[in-house]
Every structure is written in C-alpha cells, then in structure tokens.
Structure 1
Amino acid sequence: MTHNLAQGREQLQQVLLDTAADLTELRDLEAVLQAIVHRTRVLLSTDMAYISLTDFEHGETYIRHAEGVITQAYRTIRQPLGTGVLGQVATGLAPVQSSNYAEDPEIEHLAEIDEIVQGEGVQAVMGVPLTVTGRVIGALLVAERHSRLFSAAEIAAVDSLGRYAAIAIDNSMRFESLTRLVEQLSSRQRRDADELALTTHVLDLDRRLMETVMGTPDAEHLLMIGRSALAVDLAFYDADGSMVAATSGRAPEADAQSYVSVVAAGETLGRVVADRLLSETERTLLERVAVHLALAVLFERAEEDADLRRQSEVVEDIIDGREHSRERIERRLKHWGIRSGEPLLCVAIEVPDQDRRRLLQLLSGLRMRCVLMSSHSGHVCMVTVDTQWEQRVRDLFAARGWTLRAGVEGPFDDPRLIGSGHERAELALHSLDTLQRDGIVHGEQLGLLGVVLGLARRGQTPQSLTAPIDGLIAYDHTHHTDLTNTAYVYLESEGNTALTGELLSVHRNTVRQRLERISTVLGAGWDASPRRLGVHLALRIRDAQVTLDR
C-alpha cells in the first residue's frame, strides 16, 4: 500500500514536471492543451479528458480540446454556466464530480446536453476550475463511460495539475495574443512604434522570466530581471508580510503604494512591491513578474513538500520500528548528509496545527546542518547533528513572537536509538505541558517525573502511587471543590502561599482556608516529611494523567 501511494506521488510529480516543461513552448497553444489533456487522462486512467474555456460574455463554457471523445456533438459542447458538471466547474468556485451523471439530482440538467452525454455513453464526470491570479479561464475535466467515484487524492492531483495548466494556457493565450498584436502593429510602424516596443518588451521579459523559472526558480533572480526591465527596485513579501527577496539598493516597504499581488489558484502568496509609483505600462511589466513569482513559489513548494515527505517517511519508519538494520538506517540518513557514527539529537517541538506547515518551512530555511523532520501527534519531530540547533530555533521563535516548548534527547551515535530518543523527547515536551512551562527541556532532566510520565502515557501507573490523595480527589468530586489542584500548586511553589494564590488567581487567605481543609481531609503533616514526598509524587502523577488525557 505504501509503495503504491509513493508510486502515485512520484507519477504525479513527474506529470507536474513534464507539464511545467511545456510552459517553455509558449508559441503553440494547441500543443500545450494536447499535453495537458493527455497527461491528465493518463494520470487517472480515464476514458476521456478535456479542457474548456469560459466565455463570460455569453455565459457559457465550451470544450477547447479533448482526448478520448468519440462523438462530434460532445466534442463541441457549449455549456451554460452553472448547469451540468462542466458548467458548475467553469464558474470557478470548486471542483465538482458526479458518479452517475444521468441520475444525479444535484445537477441542473438540460435536455439537449443530457442527450449528448447519453450519446457519448458518459456516466462519471469530475472537473476542477482553471484560474490565474483570481481569473477563471476554464475547466479541466475527466470522464468515464462507467460509474466511478473519484477519491479526494485523485481530485487533488487533477487540481494540482490544473494550476500548472491554467498558467500554461494563460501564458500561451497571452503569447498568441501578443504575437497577433505584433503582426498587426508591424503594418503601422511609425504611428504605433511605442506600443510595438512595449509589446516586444513584454515578450522579451516573459521569455527571460520563464527561462529563469524553468532553470532555477529563484525569487531574487526574478526580481533582478524585473528591475532591469523597470529600472526600479523591487521586493517580494510573503502572505505574512515577511520579506522573501529584494533587489540591491533601497528595498521598498511592504505597504508601498505600487504593488501587484502574487496569486496562484485563488491563494494570495504575497505581493511584489516597487519603490515608486508606476505607470500603466510599467505595471503591466510588474504583473508579468508577479505571475512568474507565483509559478516559482509553486515549484519551490512542490520540491519542499516532496523532500519533507521523504524525510517524514524515514523518521516514521525508524520511530515505528519498521527499520531495524543499522546499516540500512545509516544508508537512508546519508542522503541528508548524516554520516555513520555522528552524534544525533532528537527534538520534539510543540506547534499549533494551523502553523505546522509554516514552521516546517521556516525550520527548513534555517539551513541547519543535516536535519530530518516529521510532523505528527501535535508536534514537529526533528533529528539533527547540528549542535547550534537550539539557538537557531530560539531565535526563530523569538522573531515570530511564538512561545517555544521543546523536548530534546541525545546525543547518541546509534541511529537505532532514534525511536527511544523520540519517546524521551516527547516525554520531555509533555512535561512542559504538564508543568505549564515554556522553553526547552532535556530528557535526562526529567528524572522520576520522566518515569511517571512514561507510565502514564502507557496507562501503567500503579494505583498505589496515587493512593495518598484518593481522599482529596473524592472530596473534590463530591463537593465540587479544587483542593487537589491547590495542593499540587502549593507543593510546586515550595509551600509559598502568596505565589500559590497568584498562580490560582485567588487571595492568599483563600489559599490558607483551602490548606486547612486539605489537612482535615488528608490529616495533619501531609505537606511535611515523610508524607510530603508521597503526596507530591501522587499529585504530579495525577496532573500528568490529566494533561495526557486532554
């Protein structure tokens, strides 16, 4: 199963790369359309695939290129927007599918279209919209002559392909349009010399930008090309407002007046900003820079995602015990520059789900030496040999204003210990949650608490360890009080009633009253030797169990 999934991802990546290569063939729209349709059909092994272009002026979308279609009527369908699967997809809202088109009550049927579909023998249809910088230009669809429900992964694959397809089609259509314009302008040489020069300039800029994207899609290089065309300093800011790249000279601020949004498939990736107001002509050139920046970001994301998937597979295989051979593990780690016998560190970093992808990107950007990462169980796991990792991670979190909680274990030179090292690092991270503390804690610092946390995670805590506070827990349950937590915070605060009150947000007199009640329930001397150690341990175990159950 894992092999099939990996094979599928590799096939998708190859299709995307092949399609991206066609972006250089901007002179032949038909060749680009044919390649996209063919690869989409091969990717999902469907009976047919086709691309439609949307005509908003007439409120319809029409099939522009198809493969596998038998009837001329189907090949020349013009579908009103909002009707059928094709008409719904072409509105640009979201992917749409139907496993049984003729019987699907959620589709707005048109008798003449239904007749054409029946004549072609189509049963299942699925499509994704094609959008460029927020504009809907058409739809990419696949169809079967038998019933089929396309999976979320298949829809996502076609959607990914559709992003590249949209840019390829848009570039080809722009190129054809500009080429026709050049041919028209050539007959009006002197009167339209300026317009011809601009068009040629745009074509030349597009060519240079595309060559860069297809070679090394580097944002700074693209900005330098834009600067040479516009004679103005440029900067690219991501969606968070952080500068990604800038030309030399005075970098314009993120809120400068002249900017163009960098958008791909409806997602705003950031903005490219100029350091002065631009004319309409200059803005046209800047828009071309923005389009190619979006393409470069998509390429970079695809490469990052593929690399992170490979890293995650290695880490998960070792942690889950699927890799036992030291020689094989070392061979897999060598791909990321980790040599045999190098001391390894295993780090577990807490991160909210919504920030996980961003954190992985930022950690990758730190350029730490020899690092593998995986995201699971509410944290990011990092295996590294970089001795400077801690300061770099601290600086990163401080710069972003994030709270840092991390557990670390190591160093150890046997990669087979990554699994147990991960467990210790995870326990260390959970200890910070348990104690409601921030920072970085090493597994060796846990001591007895580490043992307790480990037992609690496996549900193997001996009942006798919590027996000293059973009466207190029962009292809280019966009287709806908070004596157990008060006792825990009191002992954690070294018996300081003022600090206990501050942590519990109650007055110190309230703390004293609670302590008197605790003494009544547990008996005098519960907070003094020799009983103090047993009570404190029981309270820590209970708090750990509560934390792990959350």
Structure 2
Amino acid sequence: MSEPSPSAAPLLGRLLDLLADDAPAEELGAVTSEARAAGVPAADLAEVERAAATALRIRGALRQHRRRELQLTALFDTAGDLAASRDLDDVLKAIVRRARMLLGTDTAYLTLPDEEAGDTYMRVTDGSVSVLFQRLRLELGEGLGGLVAQTASPYATPDYRTDDRFRHTRNINAGVLDEGLVAILGVPLLLGSSRGGTGKVIGVLFAADRAARVFSPDEVALLCSLAAHAAIAIDTARALDDTRTALAELAGANEELAGANAAVRAHSAAMQRAEEAHDRLTDLVLRGGDVKDVAVSVAGLLDSPLTIHDPGGRPLAAVRPDGTGFAADSMDAGWLAGTAEESRHGARAVHRDGRWICAVLAGHELLASLVLHRPDRLDDSDRRLFERAAVVTGLLLLLRRTVAETENRIRGELISDLLADPERDPAGLAERGRRLGIDLDRPHLVLVAESAARERLGGAAMRYLFGGDIHGVSAEHAGAVVLLIDCDGQGTPAGAAARAAAAQLGHLVQAPVTVAGTGPASGARELAAAHAEAARCLRAMRVLGREGEGADVGELGFLGVVLGDAKDVDGFVTAVLGPLLRYDERRGTHLVRTLRAYFGAGGSLIRAKDELHVHVNTVVQRLDRIQVLLGRDWNEPDRALELQLALRLHLLSGGRES
C-alpha cells in the first residue's frame, strides 16, 4: 500500500477507529461515501475504497473468530458439565439449551429411541410451547429426524413443510404446525464412529426456527459437536447404569454368598448339635436312663427349661438349661390333652402360649408330653431334636412300664394272697413283701377303685402309680382294683388320696372311677381289715350315688360310723354336734338338750317346751341359735337323721346335757 495523501489520512484513521469499536458494516461503507462527497482525488478515493473493503473483511474475520470462540467456550462448558454432573437429564438439558443459544434458533430439542416401542420420543426440549409437539413420537424413516436416524447424517431444511425430501406424516405435520416450526436442522448422536465409517445412532439433536432460514456449514458442524457431547453423556450414563447394576448384582451375589456361608455354618452347627443329641440320647437308652435324664440333656442342648408331664398334667421332670431341677406346677389336663392331640395329629411339635409341646405316644396312647418353655421359634434342626427327644422319652417310658407291669404283677399276687387270707401266714407274707421291695410293716393307705371301664382300670392304676412320685402297688381283687400307697404315716389323708386317684384314674380310662380310701394301716392283718373297710365304704358310695368321686369312711357321716371298723363314735359326735357342745360349754346354755327335746317331740314346739319347762318363745330362740351354729339345713331329713344319731350316741357314751 502506497503512502496515503494527506487528504485520505483522516478517513483511513476513522476506518481503524470503527474497526476497533466493532462498528456495523454500514458505518464502514459510509466512509467511502463520505470520501466521494468530500471530493477526494481519484487516487486517494481508490485507496479509501480498498481500505474500506479490507476493513470489512477484517470485521468479518473478527466476528467469525468471536463466534468460534463462543462455540469453543460452549463446547468446553459442555465438557465440564459432562465431567461435573452425574445427572443425565441436567447434561442433556444444558446441551439443548446451548444449541439453541449458539445457533440463535427459536427451539432446540433432542429425541432418543424407545427400544421397547420401536420408535423415538422427545427426550429434552428448549423453547417449545406446544404440548402436542413435546409428546410427538417418530417412526424410523419418518420426517427429517427419521431420515437423520436412518442415514446417520445431518439434514437441514429452510422450510420443512414444503421440503419433499422427507416422508411427511399426519402426526409429525400436526406437531410441527402446532409448534409453528419452519426451518429445521437435525444431526445424529453417534457412538463408535471412526474415520471412514459411521457409528450407531442413539438419538437426534435438532435446532429449529419459526421462520425460513438457511443453516450454514459452521452451524451444522457446531450442532454436530454438541451432538457428539450428548452421545458421550448418554453413553457415560448408560455405562454408569450398567456399572451400578453390575455392582448391585455383585453386592447381591456377595449377600447371597454370605447368607449361604451363614446357612452352611448354621447347618454345620445344627448337624453337630444333632450328632451330640443323638449320642446323648442313645447313651441314655443303652444305660437305662430315665425321663429326667432326657430332660437334662434336651434342656441343655436347646438352652431352655424343659418339663415332662404325665397325661393328667402332673410333672414327671422339670429341669433348667444348667441341669438343675425346679418345682414345676401341674398343667391343666384338658389344655395339655388338646395340645398333645394337635401334636399327635400333625406328627410334630406345636407352639402354644410361649411353650413348645410334643406328645409322647405309644401308638394312639398318650404316655406324656414334653413342654419346652421357650417363647421364640425353633429352627428345623432344633425342632427335630425336640421331637426325637419325645420318641426317646416314649421308649424309656415303655421300658419302664414293661418293667413296672412285670414287677406289679408279681407284687399284685402278694396283695391278692394277703387280702384273701391274712391269717394264714402273716410272717411269710411280710417276708415275701420284703423280697419284692414292699415293706408291709410300713404305713400304707388302702384305696379300692371301681369303674364301668373295668378292663382298662388295672392298667390305668399301674400307670397312675408309676407315672409320678407315688410309691405303691396295685392288684385286681374281688372285681375291683386295690392300691397300696406307701405313706410312712404322714402325708395325704386317705380321703384326699382317694379323690386325687379318682380324678387321675378317671382321666386315664376316660370314664368315671369311684375310689374309697382308708388307712394308714400296717401289717398283714391291719391292711386286710383296712381293705374290708374301704370295700364297705365303696359300696356305701355306690348306694349314695357318689360314683366318680373319692372319699373315706370318715367323710360319709353316720354311715362311716356304721361301716368303719374303728367305730370312732366320739369323732362322729364331735363332727356333728361340736358347735352346739362348745357353745353350751362356754355359755352354760342348753342347746343340745333343747335339740334332743325338739326331735323327741316330733318337731312340736308345744311338747318340747313342756319337756323343757320353758316358754315356747324360749324354744324358738334356742332353735334360731341352733340354726346359726349348724346351718339352715339342720332340719332337712338327711341332716336331721345324722343329728338324732349323734344325740343318741352322745347320750349313750355318757355325755352330759347342760
């Protein structure tokens, strides 16, 4: 460029100022017009025109550089988003928003394929105002986006509605029309693309205007770059999802492996415990252990208190986990029988009211019940151990019963001989008893039992004696069952023992059992006499309609005096008239004499007052006092008979009437 003339210099300087201020192209062109208007020489004017053209080129280059700088900044920002954000939605929204901003379009959007439905859907939109457009779905090959996805190449149209290169559908046209789009540019999101080939299309990125527009190659390239970033973001997100899924599966596999290891360890421990239990229980059977030994072993193995109850609910054994015993209460026989029946029917232990119960059976017969006092559940191995213990308990009880039946049969022969003829050889009977383990010289209660279920009563009596802590012997004699119970002169009275036996035997035979008791007695002669008294008491109970009960002669009132060998007249009189005798003695009254006079007068108050030489009101007052002391039923026939008999016995025995 030649040295400008002085007249052109100001204009050239102004061009530089305008370039520095990034003035519009119109202002740069206006400098040439000013030069012509100012009459600048032709040579200088040509110089100004060349300078203006150069300034316009420089301005275009600067704007192009700034545009590329903005694009690169956007790409760097997008790359930063990819690195910083783990949320795919946020990254895709940022890419679509930048595409719209950098290309200066009204809208931008991104579609992704729906592999299950076999079409594509709108994943992200920016600048869209049409719900119909946002819900648009495209089949492969339909519209501009379908062609981009099918060919893996970018496509642009200045006016989509009139461009016949694309397969228009009513659905797409309606959405585009509702959004008001005209010019559309779409580029593919490619994965795995390399030089000389194309990758897999995983979506399409669009930029669109609501007016006709021609997209430049630079704009196409920019949108392709953003699409590449979007493809990377989607692929990264999928890889992360796959990694998370793999990690979750690995964690699940580790948990399953840990669970399997725990199960193996638990199974191994259970097998070891089962082996130990098998050894213990087998040893118990081989060395002739009893049910308490079973309770000790099982309570220790299952770490819970264990009780064993007979069919009547009485405890046979009660053991803590440390092997120490404790006093267990009897259980309700009805509840226990019902639970044991449930256990028998299901052939397994059942859990009820915080306890595990397993029936000990011999066929259909209930021998006992194992009760594990444990509120929580038993696992399968522990439950099988508990059920196996019930089988061993049944075996031991059957062995014990077999031995007991044999011993009881031999001892029963002794009892039968004793009752048949106690005078024949008392010393020989005593010696036989000692050899059989029965000391006839020790005090015994004598119980005589009968029932309509006679064929089952003998076996029930044997189970009653050997099922708990009762020591004795039983035998069948004269159509009834006789039980001799060792009492050592103390303990349960005969009447209470008879009632307990009636209840337990009735439960065992499932029918009413009547039991009469006497004693204690010792020696062959006394035992035979006690049996005779108990037999008479049993007959009296039958006459009185007291089947299914238990009693002794002392509890039968005046019949006890009549039937009993001891003839305890004083005891009977005291039992019947005691309240009146004590009252007369303390207060000096005449209640006993008044009662005797009243009965002697046949219940006539007039005749009674004449006999007593008192006013009739006095007789009434004394009878009221007698009612208070004896009860309201004192004048009922049965009670009146007892009172009259007691009054006569009192008089015969020398008792004074006040």
Same-fold status (TM-score > 0.5): no
Structure ranking higher on relative contact order (CA contacts 8 Å, 6+ apart)? 1
Question: Highest Rg: 1 or 2?
Answer: 2
- Scaled by the length of structure 1, the TM-score of the pair is 0.40
- Scaled by the length of structure 2, the TM-score of the pair is 0.34
